[in-house]
Amino acid sequence: MRIESIVLRELKMDLNAPFETSFGTTHHRRVLLVEVGAEGLTGWGEITTQEEPFYNGETTDTAWHIFSDFIVPMVLGKRIQKASDAVLLMKAIRGHEMARAGLENALWDIEAQAKGVSLKTLLGGTRDEIASGVSLGIQTDTDVLLRNIEREVAAGYQRIKLKIKPGKDIEVVQKVRERFPEVRLMVDANSAYRPADSGLLQQLDQFNLMMIEQPLNWDDIFLHATLQRKLRTPICLDECIHNSRHAEAAIGLGACGIINVKLGRVGGHTEARAVHDVCHSHEIPVWCGGMLESGVGRAHNVAMSTLPGFTLPGDVSASRRYWREEIIDPEVEVGPRGTIQVPDGVGLGYTVLRKRVEQRTVRERAWHASAQVTVPADAVPV
């Protein structure tokens, strides 16, 4: 396929409710969507950056720059056999995984459509439905948190993830556990603790948590291994794992018992599948993390979650938990047993609602391959 056109858009989308993590509170999202034209087909991807460089080193604006000034010139007008070849085209770029994933994932959508299969099938997915959990932000008032958990459990969600930070940890988890003794529960610290906090983190062992996600530094696999030896609860790595080599290192060092896979963090479907494969071969369970995605990113997450190693409920939850109005149809829905039915239509299996996308667009750049054919200024006409 030849990459004929690319459109990069920034959308402004307001969250239904603010989401607080140990690195800050998000009220609205600056969603970056990538639309690629090839083979007469249209594919969609999402760049899942946050506005600030607090989760990883990327931001909405660095992604806009890297995408416009480096990714587009590397890929526009190029002919590739399959979506994963895009990895080779962008190979010179170090880091900026989320920017790269936006482009690559749009090509996976196109490749699936060109082959007349669902993205799930193209990826090698095996599940017809995926298990869904929720990620709940830090709350000032624990009673509000308890009410929120009650609502999510009643809706059927299969596990509850609580965001924690120093001062909002042991007591909160204890209250939640007392109130919900049976619920599958885990916590996510987003790197808010130091190695000296191991005593405090050991206290979490008493609450029968499924895992403690990313307690220590975002780039420190080694000290997570030291910590894991002191904990009974498995550590799940999120921020630390940017590719399959990191997954190998973390598993080899004993730094985690579980890995969370995020398409953006690892640079797209090709690398996500490689991380999955490494984990699967070591019998390390994986699950799909979330970045408060719009429907486009959510649809890609649903497809990825069908791979056989995704044995734990992910953070892929219903569209309406985030947005009053989705930009895909149907929206992602979670049934009473806490599962999402995987669509079997071609490509993403969800329709991107172009009108709604355009209504929310605050800036846009478009490139066409034909316009790229330029004669060098010093060329002598013959």
Q: How far is the CB of 272 from ligand OSB (least distance, A)?
A: 15
Residue 290 touching ligand OSB (CB under 6 A)? yes
Q: Of the candidates 315, 342, 348, 367, which one interacts with ligand OSB according to CB under 6 A?
A: 315
User: Which residues, 6 or more positions from 305, have their beta carbon under 8 angstroms from its beta carbon?
Assistant: 125, 127, 130, 287, 288, 314, 316
**Helix (H), strand (E) at residue 29:** strand 24-38
Instruction: Count the site residues for Mg ion by CB under 5 A.
Output: 3
CA dist 139 and 135 (Å) reads: 12
Ranked by CB distance to Mg ion, the top (closest) residue is 238
Give which of Mg ion, ligand OSB, none residue 189 binds (C-beta under 5 to 8 Å, depending on kind).
none
In this structure, what is the dihedral angle of CA atoms 42, 46, 47, 49, given to the nearest 10 degrees? 170
Q: How far is the CB of 184 from Mg ion (least distance, A)?
A: 16
C-beta of residue 286 within 8 angstroms of C-beta of residue 259: yes
DSSP-derived secondary structure letter, 235 = E
CA dist 239 and 55 (Å) reads: 7
Cβ-based nearer residue to ligand OSB, 89 or 186: 186
Q: How far is the CB of 90 from ligand OSB (least distance, A)?
A: 23
Interaction mask 218-237, ligand OSB, x per CB under 6 A: --------------------
In this structure, what is the dihedral angle of CA atoms 60, 62, 67, 68, given to the nearest 10 degrees? 100
Residue 267 touching ligand OSB (CB under 6 A)? no
Give which of Mg ion, ligand OSB, none residue 228 binds (C-beta under 5 to 8 Å, depending on kind).
none
C-beta of residue 29 within 8 angstroms of C-beta of residue 9: no
Count of CB atoms situated within 10 Å of the CB of 344: 11
Sign of CA dihedral 20, 25, 28, 34: negative
Output the six-digit token pair for 157. Answer: 């969600």
Interaction mask 118-137, ligand OSB, x per CB under 6 A: -----------------x--
Burial class (CB in 10 A: 0-12, 13-18, 19+), 220: middle
In the window 185-244, what residues touch Mg ion (CB under 5 A)?
Answer: 188, 213, 238
CA 352 to chain centroid: 18
Catalytic residue among 120, 161, 165, 262: 262
Residue 13 touching ligand OSB (CB under 6 A)? no
Q: How far is the CB of 290 from Mg ion (least distance, A)?
A: 9
Instruction: Count the site residues for ligand OSB by CB under 6 A.
Output: 12
CA dist 339 and 115 (Å) reads: 27
Q: How far is the CB of 235 from Mg ion (least distance, A)?
A: 12
Ranked by CB distance to ligand OSB, the top (closest) residue is 290
Can 262 be counted among the known catalytic residues? yes
In the window 296-355, what residues touch Mg ion (CB under 5 A)?
Answer: none
CB under 5 A: which stretch of 15-23, 119-127, 144-152, 182-190 binds Mg ion? Answer: 182-190
Phi–psi pair at 172, nearest 5 degrees: -65, -50
C-beta of residue 204 within 8 angstroms of C-beta of residue 169: yes
Q: How far is the CB of 208 from ligand OSB (least distance, A)?
A: 21
Find where tokens 């998000």 sit: 26
Name which of 116, 123, 111, 91 is nearest 38 in CA terms.
Answer: 111
Residue 46 touching ligand OSB (CB under 6 A)? no
Q: Of the candidates 292, 334, 340, 348, which one interacts with ligand OSB according to CB under 6 A?
A: 292
Catalytic residue among 161, 163, 165, 168: 163
Residue 291 touching ligand OSB (CB under 6 A)? yes
CB-facing half-sphere around the CA of 316: CA atoms within 13 A:
33
Q: Of the candidates 169, 238, 271, 326, which one interacts with ligand OSB according to CB under 6 A?
A: 238
Kindly list the catalytic residues.
163, 262
Binding site for Mg ion (CB under 5 A): 188, 213, 238
Binding site for ligand OSB (CB under 6 A): 21, 55, 135, 188, 190, 238, 289-292, 315, 317
